[in-house]
Amino acid sequence: MLRRNLALNRDAVGVYQEAEQLLRASVAALEATLGADHLYTALARASLGRTLTAAGRAPEGLALLRTSLAVLEGQLPDGHWRLQVVRSDLGAALAATGDVAAGERLLLDSHAALLVDRGPDDYSTRDARANLARFYRARGQPELAAEYERPERRRPSR
């Protein structure tokens, strides 16, 4: 867990290579001790997928996020906030690999669910909002991006 937390910190400040190394070590350790289909292993794998996507390696990130989401969907109740976090990251990876429509739908839906379930100030909701802002900036839609960059953003979806 310590490695994963440190990796998430490195990811947050854009030090992707170090975050990747820490997350790969975390995933390997969790797989060895808990198994590949354990909740914690899937969460660490999802974090690695998010990091790879942010580092410009979206196809690799997409594969890890899909695998992680499949494991998590089998273990968590439908609508669980952790599923929404991974779905938001999956949406970002889909958009980055060219499936823009599916990516946008996942980004909007997961943000809306997190907004209701966790509230606008929770870190998971803020991360989903940041994914949406990056998505719209990358698509040349700064007005929409700006709406999601505001912390008080409360409209769940369009």
Q: What percent of the chain has pLDDT over 70?
A: 85
Name the domain boundary from 75, 108, 137. 75
Measured CA to CA, the distance from residue 84 to residue 64 in angstroms comes to 16
Which residue, among 104, 80, 79, 77, has the nearest Cα to 90 in the 3D structure?
104
Distance from C-alpha of 137 to C-alpha of 129, rounded to nearest angstrom:
12
The whole-number pLDDT of residue 125 equals 94
Say what the pLDDT of residue 16 is: 80
Same domain for 143 and 84?
A: yes
Per-residue pLDDT at 152: 52
pTM of the model: 0.88
Give the pLDDT confidence score for residue 158 in this predicted structure. Answer: 46
Mean pLDDT of the chain: 89
Residues 20 and 66 in one domain: yes
CATH number at residue 57: 1.25.40
CA 44 – CA 7 distance, rounded (Å) = 10
pLDDT tens-digit map of 41-86: 999 999 999 999 999 999 999 999 999 999 999 999 998 999 999 9
Instruction: Verify that 71 and 83 share a domain, yes or no.
Output: no
Q: How many domains does the chain have?
A: 2
Contact 101, 76 (CB under 8 A): no
Q: Is the pLDDT of residue 147 over 70?
A: yes
Neighbours of 85 (CB within 10 A): 25
DSSP for residue 158: -
